[in-house]
Chains A and B, each alone.
Chain A
Amino acid sequence: MSEARTAKNVALDVSKLPTTLFDAHSALWWGNALLLAIETAMFGILIAIYFSVMMQTEPFPPPRVERLPVLYESFPNLTLPIVGLIVIVTSLIPSIMLDKSARNKQVGMIKILLPITLTFNIVAIVIRYYEFDSLLFKWEDNAYGSITWMILGMHMFHLIALACEDVFLLAWTYVKGVDDKHLLDLTVLGVYWYWVVGVWVVLFGIVYLVPRFTL
């Protein structure tokens, strides 16, 4: 039995194996991927609710009668959301560079890129805060207002979570330096970042474009 190891047992010596590997070789990457699967399911359900509200609302979006001025064509404003989308998509550049420099262990680059990504992140959060007004409705006006606020809010929650992770890795990098474990963390942060961006591209289309381009 395994506990009573006898002299006959062949040894499978693992002491020379590495302690950190990137991507699907690491447990952390998988843990993150599965949490993102959960969140993707969550957004999938929100999208389903959005379309279910759409099916029950005629015309869509409904005329705004809850507050003045009354609007009969209540499509969401696009200016600020487009700026926000540009910021979020552009943040891919520093985050991909951060991912790359973590893989190449370029400490200097990591220390420069972390504050840059954080800046993008904070700008995106601020824009999102003002972006709620572009919806023209409040969450309490009707089901359409509720679901659109919920979608924007849930995504904003992820932007904030991303910023928190960023702050943590920034603090660690500047206080303790960079080690193998945190290089892995940086690449996993990258995966989360790409997911937040990718999900927003889809959600942007649904919240801002679908109402304008449906019959």
Chain B
Amino acid sequence: MTKEELEQKQSSDITPEVIGSERAILERTWDNGKGFYAWLTDCNHKSVGIRYIVTAFIFFVMSGSLAVTMRTQLMGPENRILGPDMYNQFFTTHGTSMMFLFAVPVMLGMGVYLVPLMIGTREIAFPRMNLYSYYLFLFAGILLFVALILNIGPDAGWFAYVPLSGPEFGIGKRVDVWSQVVSITEISALAVAVNIVVTIFKQRAPGMSLSRMPLYVWSMLVTAFMIIFAMPAVMLSSTLLSMDRLSKVSTHFFNAAEGGDPLLWQHLFWFFGHPEVYIIFLPATGFVSMIIATFARRRTFGYTALVMSAIATAFIGFGVWVHHMFATPLPQLGQSIFTASSMLIVIPNGVQIFCWVTTLWLGKWNIKAPLVWIFGFFGIFVLGGLTGVMLASVPLDTQLHDTFFVVAHFHYVLIGGGIFPLFGAIYYWFPKMTGRMLNNTAGVVNAVLMFIGFNMVFFPMHILGLDGMPRRVYTYATETGWGNLNMLATIGAYVMAIAAIVFVVNVVYSFLRGPIAGDNPWGADTLEWSVSSPPPTYNYQYIPEIEGPNALWDMTKDHAVVTGLHLYSRELLHTTIHDASPEKRHQTHGPSIFPLLTAIITAGGFITFMFTPWSVPTAMFLSAVCLFGWFWSNSTQHRPPFASIKDNLIYDDGGVPREVAI
């Protein structure tokens, strides 16, 4: 059907009364109900997104307090607050939780909330799978922290190198907890990634061709593809590790004595582990692009260059993993190749930085808290990038391997490149999510405290690392002379903790008492700012046609809007992948209990696999039963009965087929 045929001037019969009554019907159709059961089964992308974000921040606070405790232990030489065994559990849980339970899920949660709104659709592609992924993530987090409380927290480091984590040295169930937490969270991340790709491919508002997609949506698309190709490696390797460890299975994948290879573990882990950094960083670049465009009040400079940089980063990101393994006996040629590719990845990142700086340079600044966080991002991330270039060089890396220099480097990259833009994004989108503004002054204080505290913690670690202080030691001798810098770092950790408290207080207070935000408090350009704050369950009553890369700034007064979507069922508009021209209507699904049941069975299967291999067939059987119910209930929502029809026939409400031209 051509666009001209679709666009019919029929506006004369649309009166405010019609709009109002249609809205009332939509409210009812998309209502998820009230009460505890409705809360458990609510799979709307906005509820799930917010739950992801809130849960991830709770894990952030928990693993942050582990970090503060570790810093307290290290504040002076020969301290005895944490013993060596507890310290091992603390740093492993801190790393595992920050990576698998905070950084990745919070970025995915933001994507789950924002992507459907930003591309102008009413729901994510597979809402029930989305809810399933959330519950898996939640159960994995509970498993990790309950294990820590029970003194069976993992203790072999967040990358769990064999043989330390293998059956011979990793006694007890500690490493099993780690490997099951990883497997469960990765299933969850993979499910979200598939969801995001399909949503972006099929559900963009008419007219939002690929070249008009907001940069944040681009960054989430690239991230989702990276997840799809990176996460299987860690899921598989953590499963293999748990099979090696389970005494009734006892495979030999990483057992050198039986033809296995401990180095294989490092390859598999880092083949995931390095792309993981970009899985955290790329969504953050999306935040940076959005925030800078809004607060520099101009179009982002170098749209194409930014998109290409994101894609280039993703590709090169899969070819650098060996730089984590320079201290292993690898062929020199291989090391040189990975040095080259590690340095190569600086180019797309540099292009991004220059595009943002140019946007700021050409813009008229509106300095608000989100922009202040982005300034912090520039300073810290660039420094982290520079130490990254240093570590890409083999001789320097061999010297600095496993020292605090590395700890400093990756915290600069991850906190600078991931967390600062994330906090900026929370200050930026909080009004949309809750309908209330966060306090701006507190936001600036928060950002400045975080910046100062961060540099106090991690800058001294560069010097400590150069001085030879190894990472992952619970204490050090007085004669080393490392006491003063460690004390400085510990004070910085408390400054960061105060910054986090300012944030929590600001969020809680503003959620209850903050000024009402209105639809578009920042004068921003993306589509989500055109609907009320918080948005209605169905997001858009009339999906607008997009007329340029900056949806709202380019929108003309009499722009076209989509009409004719079903009012009495949860219907979405599917558009073509490249041009986003309307293609079909698609009925999506509402609340269901099956995602929760299936998640309980999946997580239960993984957790019991720590003890018996029979959990696999049991969980497979039970989840097959559950999925049967899930699909059956999905299917019954599709009412049209069958009649022998041809390809281009569809059904009216009464089940009467009619012909359409496609």
Interface residues of chain A, those whose CB is within 8 Å of chain B, are 1-3, 5-21, 24-27, 30-31, 34-35, 37-39, 41-42, 45-46, 49, 52-53, 56-57, 62, 103, 105, 107, 139-147, 149-150, 157, 160, 164, 168, 172, 176-182
Which of B198, B260, B267, B527 sits near A31, CB closer than 8 Å? B198
* Chain B residues within 8 Å of A182, by CB: 635
* Chain B residues within 8 Å of A15, by CB: 563-565, 585
Assess the B660–A18 pair: CB atoms within 8 A: yes
Within 8 Å of chain A (Cβ to Cβ): is B171? Answer: no
* Residue of chain B at shortest CB distance from A34: B194
Assess the A12–B259 pair: CB atoms within 8 A: no
Assess the B11–A143 pair: CB atoms within 8 A: no
- A179 → chain B closest CB, angstroms: 5
Residues of B638-661 whose CB lies within 8 A of A: 638, 640-642, 644-648, 650-651, 660
Within 8 Å of chain A (Cβ to Cβ): is B346? Answer: no
Assess the A17–B1 pair: CB atoms within 8 A: yes
Assess the B202–A27 pair: CB atoms within 8 A: yes
Residues of B1-42 whose CB lies within 8 A of A: 1, 6-12, 14, 19
Tell me whether A30 and B198 are in contact in the complex, defined as CB-CB below 8 angstroms, given that A8-B11, A41-B232, A53-B259 are known contacts: yes
- A164 → chain B closest CB, angstroms: 5
* Chain B residues within 8 Å of A178, by CB: 642
* Chain B residues within 8 Å of A18, by CB: 584-585, 648, 650, 660, 662
Interface centre among A2, A24, A46, A172 (most CB of B within 10 A): A2
* Chain B residues within 8 Å of A12, by CB: 6-7, 206, 545, 560-563, 582
Assess the A164–B564 pair: CB atoms within 8 A: no
Assess the B620–A160 pair: CB atoms within 8 A: yes
Taken together as a complex, chains A and B put the C-alpha atoms of A31 and B203 apart, in Å, by: 13
* Chain A residues within 8 Å of B479, by CB: none
A-B contact pairs, 21 of them (CB 8 A): A3-B519, A3-B542, A5-B542, A8-B11, A9-B560, A12-B206, A13-B10, A14-B562, A14-B565, A18-B585, A19-B587, A21-B584, A35-B194, A39-B232, A45-B233, A45-B268, A52-B267, A107-B644, A140-B249, A157-B620, A168-B631
Assess the B9–A10 pair: CB atoms within 8 A: yes
Assess the B640–A147 pair: CB atoms within 8 A: no
* Chain A residues within 8 Å of B531, by CB: 1-3
Which of B258, B260, B585, B628 sits near A19, CB closer than 8 Å? B585
Taken together as a complex, chains A and B put the C-alpha atoms of A32 and B12 apart, in Å, by: 43
Residues of B553-572 whose CB lies within 8 A of A: 557-565
* Chain A residues within 8 Å of B253, by CB: 49, 143, 146-147
* Chain B residues within 8 Å of A42, by CB: 232, 235-236
The 9 closest A-B pairs by CB, nearest first: A15-B564, A143-B259, A146-B251, A143-B260, A8-B558, A2-B544, A10-B560, A41-B232, A142-B258
* Chain A residues within 8 Å of B650, by CB: 18-20, 180
Tell me whether A142 and B252 are in contact in the complex, defined as CB-CB below 8 angstroms, given that A18-B648, A31-B126 are known contacts: yes
Tell me whether A179 and B640 are in contact in the complex, defined as CB-CB below 8 angstroms, given that A14-B564, A14-B565 are known contacts: yes
Tell me whether A14 and B587 are in contact in the complex, defined as CB-CB below 8 angstroms, given that A45-B232, A49-B264, A142-B252 are known contacts: no
Sample of 8 more A-B contacts, CB < 8 Å, known A14-B573, A15-B564, A31-B194:
A12-B562, A13-B10, A18-B650, A26-B586, A27-B586, A45-B232, A146-B253, A180-B651
Assess the A140–B250 pair: CB atoms within 8 A: yes
- A60 → chain B closest CB, angstroms: 9
- A49 → chain B closest CB, angstroms: 7
Assess the A16–B194 pair: CB atoms within 8 A: no
Taken together as a complex, chains A and B put the C-alpha atoms of A176 and B10 apart, in Å, by: 40
* Residue of chain B at shortest CB distance from A62: B259
* Chain A residues within 8 Å of B641, by CB: 177, 179
* Chain A residues within 8 Å of B255, by CB: 143
Within 8 Å of chain A (Cβ to Cβ): is B632? Answer: yes
Tell me whether A142 and B584 are in contact in the complex, defined as CB-CB below 8 angstroms, given that A11-B561, A45-B236, A164-B624 are known contacts: no
Assess the B558–A38 pair: CB atoms within 8 A: no
* Residue of chain B at shortest CB distance from A7: B11
* Residue of chain B at shortest CB distance from A146: B251
Taken together as a complex, chains A and B put the C-alpha atoms of A172 and B620 apart, in Å, by: 21
Assess the A25–B559 pair: CB atoms within 8 A: no
* Residue of chain B at shortest CB distance from A140: B250
Taken together as a complex, chains A and B put the C-alpha atoms of A161 and B9 apart, in Å, by: 50
* Residue of chain A at shortest CB distance from B206: A12
* Chain B residues within 8 Å of A46, by CB: 236
* Residue of chain A at shortest CB distance from B12: A7
Taken together as a complex, chains A and B put the C-alpha atoms of A145 and B251 apart, in Å, by: 8
